[in-house]
Amino acid sequence: VTPLSQEDELIAWLRRRLARAPGGDLAGDDAALLPARPASAAWAATVDSQIAGVHAPPGLDPAVLARRLLAVNLSDLAAVGAAPAYALAALAAPPGYDRRRFLGALVAACARAGVTLAGGDLVRAEVPAATLTLFGSRPAGGAWLRRSAARAGHRLWLGGTVGESAAGRHLLARGARLAGRRVDLPAAPPLAGSLAAAARRAVRRHLAPAPQLALGRALGRLAARRRGGVGGVIDVSDGLALDLARLCRASGVGAEVEVERLPAAPRFHGLAAAIDRDPLELALGGGEDYVLLFTLDPRLAPPAEFRCRRIGAVTAGRRLTMIDRRGRRPLPVVGWDHLDPAGGE
Amino acid sequence: VTPLSQEDELIAWLRRRLARAPGGDLAGDDAALLPARPASAAWAATVDSQIAGVHAPPGLDPAVLARRLLAVNLSDLAAVGAAPAYALAALAAPPGYDRRRFLGALVAACARAGVTLAGGDLVRAEVPAATLTLFGSRPAGGAWLRRSAARAGHRLWLGGTVGESAAGRHLLARGARLAGRRVDLPAAPPLAGSLAAAARRAVRRHLAPAPQLALGRALGRLAARRRGGVGGVIDVSDGLALDLARLCRASGVGAEVEVERLPAAPRFHGLAAAIDRDPLELALGGGEDYVLLFTLDPRLAPPAEFRCRRIGAVTAGRRLTMIDRRGRRPLPVVGWDHLDPAGGE
C-alpha cells in the first residue's frame, strides 16, 4: 500500500505498533471516541495545534490565532457529529507574547461555541505554539459519524467550497494582513473591485474558518434514523484529494469526483488566475477548507439549508478517479503533508 | 492578593474572565474534572507539554522525552485520584526528528500504564515540542481528590523526597547525559563512590520521574470512606513551596512546614554541596519532584507501604511558615515560574 503522505505513513506505522500493544487502538477518525459505561456518556476528543510560522503567519494577532485554534478543533468534532463541551488549552509562547489577548479571545470564542475551558498548561517557548484538546458529547437523537463507513454506491457530498482558504494563504504569504476586521491586500498582484473583495474573503476564510458543526449534527441525526444511510465523514483540512483518499482507505472503497461539480467561492477562478495558481490544484490540494466531506445512500440527501453539493460517487475497488470534460483520469492525491519539510504543497 | 508567580497571576486573570463567561469554570486542580450524566462516568483530564530546551535538555533521546511526557501527565491524574485511561498526543518536531522512536516509546509506556493512545496531531516545528492530553476515570470505590479541600488542623504529608530532581537538572545543565540506561556524569564537579551514585540517581529521577498513581488511588479510597478526612492534594511539579502555596490558597488556609522533616534522597545533602547548591532551596523550590503533597485529618494516615512523610500541619489564616532549629520564619514562596523569562528559579 503506497503511503498517502509522510504523515499517513507515520500514522500507519503507529497503528501497527498500537495493534500489538494491549488495549491499543487508533481508529483514525477526526476525533477519538472514548467509550464509557454507559455508552451514552462516551466522549469524542480531538487535539490540534497551531504553530506560528507553520499554520499561521508569524506575528499573527494572538486573538486571531486563538479563534483559529478553536475553529480547527471544532471542525474535527463536527466530523464525528459531536456537540462541543470542554476544552483544555496548552499555550507555549516567548516572553512578551500577549497571552491575555490569546486567552481572552479563546474564552470568548469558547463561550460562543458552548465550550467550557476546563484546564490547560502555560509554558515558555521560542515560537508561539498553541494546542487545544476539545471534548464533545453525542447529542440526543444523534449517532457518532465515522470515517470508515463509506460504501460503494453512496453519493459523495461536500459541505462547502474548497480552494478559497489556500488562495487566502497565498495572499498572506505575499503580505496580506488582517488589521482588526479589515483585510489589507498586498500591492502585488494589483486587485480591484470584485476580485479585491474575493481576495479579502479568501484571507478571512483562511484565518477565521467556520466549522460545520450544525451540518455534522444534522448528519448525526440522519445516521441515527437511517442506519447505514450515512457513510464516511471527514473534515477537509489537508486537501480534498488527500482527505478523500483517507476516507476511502478507511472504508475500503474508491471514489469518482466530478470536477465540474466542485463548489467554488464567487470569483474564485479569477482570483486564482490573479495570484498565478491553478484553481483545480487549489481546490484539490490546497487544504484548510474545514468543510465536511461525506457519503450518503443515494436515497438520502443532506438538509437543503446547508447547501451541500454532490460532487461524485463512491465506487467498489480502491481507485480514485476524477471526471471532467476531457474524460476520466486518476485523481492526484495532492494535499498538505504536515511532515514534509518542503511544506506539503 | 500577591500573585505567587507570573503563571499564577495569568491563571487568576483567566479565572476572572471565565467567571464572566456563561458556563465558565477553571477549578484549578491538577486535572480538570469533566462532569457527565451519570456522574460516575465523569472524566478527569489533564494536559502538559514538554519542550526541548525548556523542560528537557536539547538533543534528549526522543524515547526519554516521550516517557517523561507521559509521566508528568500521569502525576496530574494521580493528584485527583484518577485511573489513567486514554491519551491524545500532539507532536511538533523538525524534519529529521526521530518521530518513530518518540511514538514507539510513548505507545510502550502507555501500554505499561494501562493507557490507550486514542488520537493525536503531528506537525512540523523548529523545536521539538510534545503535548499530551490524558484522561482518567474514577476507580470503583474511590473519590475524586481536590486541591481545595485542605482544612486547618489537618496534617501535611509528602509522598516522597524533594530536591533530587532539581539536582539532576543541574547535573544535566553541566553536561550529564543519559546513554541507554547508563548515566554519564560531567567531569566537573568530580564525583565518586556514593556521591556519583547519588548523582546518577538524581539525573534518572529528573528524566524519568515515577508518578504516584497508586498513592493517589489509595488516597481516593480513603477519601471515599472518610468524607472530609482527606484534604487538599496536589502534585509537586513547580516546587514544594509554590505548590503548597497554591494548595493553601485554593483551600483558604495556611501551613507550617517542619523543615527537618522534609524527606531527602540518600546522600542528597552531600550531592547538593558538591554541585554548590543549597539543599533547602532545592527541596523547597527545585520542582519537578512529581510526588504528592496532601493533607489528612490527624486521625488518619496514608497506607504505610507508600512511606509518606508527615512534614507539618495546616493552619487557620493564610500564612505559610517554616520551622527549623532557628525557630519560625515565613516560608519563601520559591519555585518554577513557567512564564518568567529568567527561567523561574
Q: Of the given ranges (A35-39, B64-68, B239-243), which has the lowest mean pLDDT?
A: A35-39
Share of chain B above pLDDT 70, in %: 90
Q: For chain A, positions 121-160, list CB contacts with chain B under 8 A.
A: 121-127, 129, 131, 133, 135, 137
Query: How confident is the model at residue A133, as a pLDDT?
Result: 94
Nearest CB to B51; choose among A41, A123, A338: A123
pLDDT over 60 at A64, yes or no: yes
Query: How confident is the model at residue A345, as a pLDDT?
Result: 36
CB-CB neighbours of B139 under 10 Å: 15
Share of chain A above pLDDT 90, in %: 65
CA distance A55 to chain B (A): 9
Q: Of the given ranges (A115-129, B13-27, B164-178), which has the lowest mean pLDDT?
A: B13-27
Query: How confident is the model at residue B44, as a pLDDT?
Result: 87
Query: How confident is the model at residue B26, as a pLDDT?
Result: 53
pLDDT over 60 at A57, yes or no: yes
- SS3 assignment, position A341: coil
Q: Can you tell me the mean pLDDT for A232-238?
A: 94
A174 contacts A274 by C-beta, under 8 angstroms = no
Distance of CA A167 to the CA centre of its chain: 16
Which residues of chain B lie closer than 8 angstroms to A119, CB-CB?
Answer: 26, 31-32, 45-47
HEC-encoded secondary structure of chain B: CCCCCHHHHHHHHHHHHHHHCCCCCCCCCCCEEECCCCHHHCEEEEEEEEEECCCECCCCCHHHHHHHHHHHHHHHHHHHCCEEEEEEEEEEECCCCCHHHHHHHHHHHHHHCCCEEEEEEEEECCCCEEEEEEEEECCCCCCCCCCCCCCCCCEEEECCCCCHHHHHHHHHHCCCEEECCEEECCCCCCCCHHHHHHHHHHHHHHHCCCCCHHHHHHHHHHHHHCCCCEEEEEECCCCHHHHHHHHHHHHCCEEEEEHHHCCCCCCHHHHHHHCCCCHHHHHHHCCCCCCEEEEECCCCCCCHHHCCEEEEEEECCCCEEEEECCEEEECCCCCCCCCCCCCCC
Share of chain A above pLDDT 70, in %: 90
Instruction: Give the model confidence (pLDDT) of A270-297 as tens digits.
Output: 999 999 999 999 999 999 999 999 999 9
Establish if B119 touches chain A: CB-CB under 8 angstroms.
Answer: yes
Angle, CA of A190, A195 and A198, to the nearest 5°: 120
Among A25, A97, A123, the residue to mutate for chain B (most B Cβ within 10 A) = A123
Closest residue in A to B114 (Cα–Cα)? A23
Nearest CB to B111; choose among A21, A114, A135: A21
Establish if A114 touches chain B: CB-CB under 8 angstroms.
Answer: yes
Q: For chain A, positions 14-73, list CB contacts with chain B under 8 A.
A: 14, 17-18, 21-27, 31-32, 34, 36-38, 41, 43, 45-49, 51, 53-55
The residue ranking higher by pLDDT, B134 or B37, is: B134
The model's confidence at residue B23, banded by pLDDT at 50, 70 and 90, is: very low
B106 contacts B69 by C-beta, under 8 angstroms = yes
| Count of positions (residues) in chain B | 345
Query: How confident is the model at residue A39, as a pLDDT?
Result: 59
Query: How confident is the model at residue A28, as a pLDDT?
Result: 56
Instruction: Give the model confidence (pLDDT) of A199-218 as tens digits.
Output: 999 999 999 999 999 999 99
The model's confidence at residue B302, banded by pLDDT at 50, 70 and 90, is: very high
Query: How confident is the model at residue A197, as a pLDDT?
Result: 97
Please report where in the chains the cell 472503497 appears, as a residue.
A253
What's the first-to-final CA gap in chain A, in angstroms? 22
CB contact under 8 A, B10 and A133: no
The overall average pLDDT reported for chain A is 89
A335 contacts A287 by C-beta, under 8 angstroms = yes
Share of chain B above pLDDT 90, in %: 66
pLDDT over 90 at B33, yes or no: no
Query: How confident is the model at residue A23, as a pLDDT?
Result: 43
Query: How confident is the model at residue B119, as a pLDDT?
Result: 82
The overall average pLDDT reported for chain B is 89
HEC-encoded secondary structure of A100-156: HHHHHHHHHHHHHCCCEEEEEEEEECCCCEEEEEEEEECCCCCCCCCCCCCCCCCEE
The residue ranges of DSSP E strands in chain A, in sequence order, are 32-34, 43-51, 83-93, 116-124, 129-137, 155-158, 177-179, 182-184, 230-235, 254-258, 292-296, 309-315, 320-324, 327-330
Closest residue in B to A31 (Cα–Cα)? B119
A339 contacts A5 by C-beta, under 8 angstroms = yes
pTM: 0.88
Instruction: Give the model confidence (pLDDT) of A96-105 as tens digits.
Output: 899 989 988 9
Query: How confident is the model at residue A95, as a pLDDT?
Result: 87
pLDDT over 70 at A305, yes or no: yes
CB contact under 8 A, B51 and A118: no
Q: For chain B, positions 236-295, list CB contacts with chain A under 8 A.
A: none
Separation in Å, CA B81 to CA A150, B78, B103, B137, B311:
41, 5, 27, 9, 21
Query: How confident is the model at residue A26, as a pLDDT?
Result: 53
Measure the CA–CA gap between A285 and A257, rounded to whole angstroms.
14
Query: How confident is the model at residue A29, as a pLDDT?
Result: 64
Instruction: Give the model confidence (pLDDT) of B125-178 as tens digits.
Output: 888 999 999 999 889 899 989 888 999 999 999 999 999 999 999 999 999 999
| Count of positions (residues) in chain A | 345
Ranked by mean pLDDT, the top range of A105-109, A140-144, B255-259 is B255-259
Query: How confident is the model at residue A20, as a pLDDT?
Result: 60
Q: For chain A, positions 301-340, list CB contacts with chain B under 8 A.
A: 338-339
Establish if B5 touches chain A: CB-CB under 8 angstroms.
Answer: no
CA distance B328 to chain A (A): 34
Measure the CA–CA gap between B47 and B49, rounded to whole angstroms.
7
pLDDT over 50 at A257, yes or no: yes
Q: For chain B, positions 164-223, list CB contacts with chain A under 8 A.
A: none
B218 contacts B306 by C-beta, under 8 angstroms = yes
Query: How confident is the model at residue B344, as a pLDDT?
Result: 41
Query: How confident is the model at residue A338, as a pLDDT?
Result: 72
The model's confidence at residue B24, banded by pLDDT at 50, 70 and 90, is: very low
Q: Can you tell me the mean pLDDT for B282-305?
A: 96
Instruction: Give the model confidence (pLDDT) of B193-234 as tens digits.
Output: 999 999 999 999 999 999 999 999 999 999 999 888 888 999
Q: Can you tell me the mean pLDDT for A76-81?
A: 94
Query: How confident is the model at residue A27, as a pLDDT?
Result: 56
pLDDT over 50 at A24, yes or no: no
pLDDT over 90 at B124, yes or no: no
The model's confidence at residue B22, banded by pLDDT at 50, 70 and 90, is: very low
